[in-house]
Structure 1
Amino acid sequence: MSTPTMPYKIDVHSHFLPPFYQEACRNNGHANPDGMPAVPDWSPEQHLNLMDNLGIRKSILSISTPGTHLVAGNNELAANLSRQCNAYAADLKGKLPERFGFFASLPIPDVETCLKEITQATEDNCDGFVLETNGHGHYLGDTLFDPIFDELNSRKATLFIHPTTPLCPCSPQALAQGQQPVKATPLANKYPNPMLEFFFDTARVVTNLFMSGTIQRCPDLKIILPHLGGAFPPLLSRWTGFSALVPGPWEGIMEAEVREGFQRQIWFDMAGFVFPGQIKGLMEGAGVSHSRLMYGSDFPFTKPKGVEMLLGQMDEGMRGSFGREEIEDMYHGNAERLFGGTS
């Protein structure tokens, strides 16, 4: 358990699964989401109990993978489920505003419904929006999603990106030609996708958002990347250097420009196994400062005992690597500044 001497926490990576969403997942091919054993149980009471036990003052809730667009081509189901989930979260925040906030679900690749939900969820007082790394094979950074990113940028919104199972073909052109997406998970028969594939899909999206010019085109958009950015840090020098040296259908981007973008509009949550090695890879390898890091529990996909164990590792790693003010920033101060003084 987090020791009493450690600061309170704002949790920016935690999930909610109301009963109707659990049922929708089980009824539409996601009874074992991304290879996990089952759809996890969840209730506000369970969540509050975890928060009280571990010194988490507030949780910003989101729907995790597989998101709210559960069946490729079924936009009606996606629209209805997104509205249900966002309305549920808005009601919960309204009842307990000091304990819960929420990221509104946007059901990519249905752009029209996403734009409607941005307007409605903003009226419902959401704290930002959540997108999966890909929607049935359409990846963030594809031109298909330009209207969504332009709208979020115009609102100076906060976007939380969550990984999901990678799919191929991973191009709008292939999909337009009628190729049906298939899971790009060669080791899924051995390991659940969250173990490895989520990190790789996050790395794909970091690369694609910068290489497509989406980040540069949307300077007022604030983005939270999960799990300290996944597997992208050791790849940063490669894809930036490659883009400048090798001719191709892209414009080269300098590594310094990407690093500046991190400091300008990107934050990273610390959900998962961040100590002792991963956090050093992000900070030392990609030049990300402590002011861009925020706490994440990944509850309830990480069970309470797991959240407690990981927080113990984090407390120990924090004390060994950072000063008191830096620890307070990462556990709550950075999130409070990002969300305008949430407490």
Structure 2
Amino acid sequence: MYKKIDFHAHYLSPGFKSFLKTYFDDHGDGVKTPDYTIDSTLKTMADNNVEYSIISLSSPHISNTNDAGKTSDLATEANEYGAKQQQTYPDKIGFAASLPLPYVDESIAEIDRARANHASAFTLPTNANGTYLGDPSLDPIMEKLNEQKTLVMLHPNEPKPIAKDVNSELPAPIMEFFFDTTRAVTNMVLHSVFTRYTNIKFIIPHAGALLPVISDRLSLAQKLNPDLKDDQVDMGSVLATQYFDVAGMVLPHQLPVLQQVSDPTHLLYATDAPYTPAPQVIQLTKELENTGVLSEATKQMIFYKNGKQLLDELK
């Protein structure tokens, strides 16, 4: 097996487990909360020859408390848990800190705490209780993250609001996560997030969701709304410069489409464990290792070289 670095792996702190049980009856986004200890991460790493994992919270986002104090306390608890795992396994584990979005002052304070705890990255939800990335109200948080070189991992959430009478039988991760990633990143483009905050390297999850498909279509918006500036519809530049993890079922169709519009040095291996069950992680990993869609050189880049270079640049 190829050695690997995992850029989309999850942990569940005690506080986050309690949050999921209290607010979602252990079925956040329609998904049963998986059993988890740090040994779960280490087992997945061993089974898939992963040398290093950056662990982060998954959805639903902690803003579902609808309370600034509770959301902030949850972020701090989760980040302290992640920092402890990183300190215990410094050669194997890094952590991406969560922020109590959409609360600005609390998020800025949490950025300082997380940096003091040597967070490897930060994770931001596509929306925090309906406030989407790109919203001008979040600019002070982006400015704070932009003060120094920072890695930011985006993570999809259930859309807010969501049409409850449409496709209600499908858990949100199956379809709505793709739509929400696409919606959030497009909103970030419209508000020039990628061009204003150039010290931030963003990782867009799940092979870019639907972004490669709508990229050309977005440029047509100027014909309907002439007030739009060129950079507000320039999805192509974002796809060419930002990073993408390949978590999930990206073969046989999705990854080849992404490769047409992205930089091959910006594709990153990801497991999405433990929300993707261990047997399926192994299966999806083997598919990536054995596919004829990717060249040997590209496989080496996705599994390890790209991630190693990215982390080295952030030191």
State TM-score, norm by structure 1. Answer: 0.87
Q: Deviations over 1:267-315 (max 9, x none)?
A: 000000011100012122xx11221100010001011011111112211
More off after superposition, 303-312 vs 158-167? 303-312
Q: CA deviation at 1:138?
A: 0.6
Counterparts in 2 of 1:1-16, with a 5 A limit? Answer: 6-16=1-11
Residue 34 of structure 1: aligned partner: 29
Q: Per-residue CA shift, 1:192-236, capped at 9, x if unaligned?
A: 010000000000012111111111111221000000111121111
Q: 2:60 aligns with which of 62, 66, 83?
A: 66
Q: Of the candidates 19, 23, 39, which is equivalent to residue 14 of structure 2?
A: 19
C-alpha distance in 2 between matches for 1:196 and 1:20: 28
Q: Measured at CA, do residues 150 and 42 of structure 1 come closer, stay the same or move farther in structure 2, by a change above 3 Å?
A: same
Q: Give the 5 Å matches for 1:122-161.
A: 122-161=115-154
Q: 1:193 aligns with which of 150, 172, 190?
A: 172
1:290 and 2:268 correspond: no
Aligned pairs for 1:1-343 (under 5 A) are: 6-29=1-24, 31-36=26-31, 38-72=32-66, 74-168=67-161, 183-242=162-221, 244-247=222-225, 250-253=228-231, 257-264=234-241, 266-284=242-260, 287-317=261-291, 320-340=292-312
- Pairwise CA distance, 1:140: 0.4
| Secondary structure, counterpart of 2:300 in structure 1 | helix
SS at match of 1:10: strand
**Equivalent residue letter for 1:97:** P
Residues 38-82 of structure 1 show CA distances to partners (whole Å, capped at 9, x for unaligned) of 11111111221121111111110000001222312x111111111
Q: Is the 8 A contact 2:8 2:272 kept in 1?
A: yes
Q: Is the 8 A contact 1:185 1:197 kept in 2?
A: no
CA contact (8 A) 2:247 2:272 kept: yes
Q: Structure 1 residue 188: deviation in Å? A: 4.4
Q: Helix, strand or coil: the match of 1:64?
A: coil
Aligned partners of 1:240 and 1:253 also within 8 Å: no
Q: Percent identity?
A: 29
* Cα distance, 1:254 vs structure 2: 7.3
Contact 1:153 1:218 in 2 (8 A): yes
| Deviations 1:226-260, CA, capped at 9 Å, x for gaps | 00111121111111221x212266434376x4333
Q: CA offsets per residue over residues 11-53 of structure 1, 9 Å max, x none? A: 00000012332122111235211111x1111111122112111
Distance in structure 2 (CA, Å) of the matches to 1:301 and 1:43: 13
Distance 1:43 1:29, change over 3 A: same
Letter in 2 for 1:273: M
Whether contact under 8 Å (2:150, 2:199) holds in the other structure is: yes
- Deviations, residues 112-134 of structure 1 (Å, cap 9, x unaligned): 11101111101100011001100
Give, in angstroms, the shift of residue 151 of structure 1. Answer: 1.2
* Aligned positions, number: 314
In structure 1, list runs of 5 or more residues that go unmatched. 1-5, 169-182
**Aligned AA for 2:224?**
V
Deviation at 1:189, TM superposition (A): 2.2
Q: For residues 312 and 10 of structure 1, do their structure 2 counterparts lie closer, same or farther at Cα, with a shift above 3 Å needed? A: same
How far is the alpha carbon of 1:8 from its aligned partner?
A: 0.6
Residue pair 1:35, 1:188 contacting (<8 A) in 2 also: no
Gaps of 5+ in 2: none
Contact 1:156 1:220 in 2 (8 A): yes
What's the Cα RMSD here? 1.7
- Indicate conservation of the 8 Å contact 2:190/2:232, yes or no: no
Q: Contact 2:256–2:293 (CA<8 Å) still a contact in 1? A: no
Tell me, in whole angstroms, the C-alpha distance in 2 between the residues paired with 1:99 and 1:138.
Answer: 34
The separation in 2 between residues aligned to 1:63 and 1:30, in whole angstroms, is 17
Structure 2 Cα separation of the partners of residues 254 and 193 of structure 1: 28
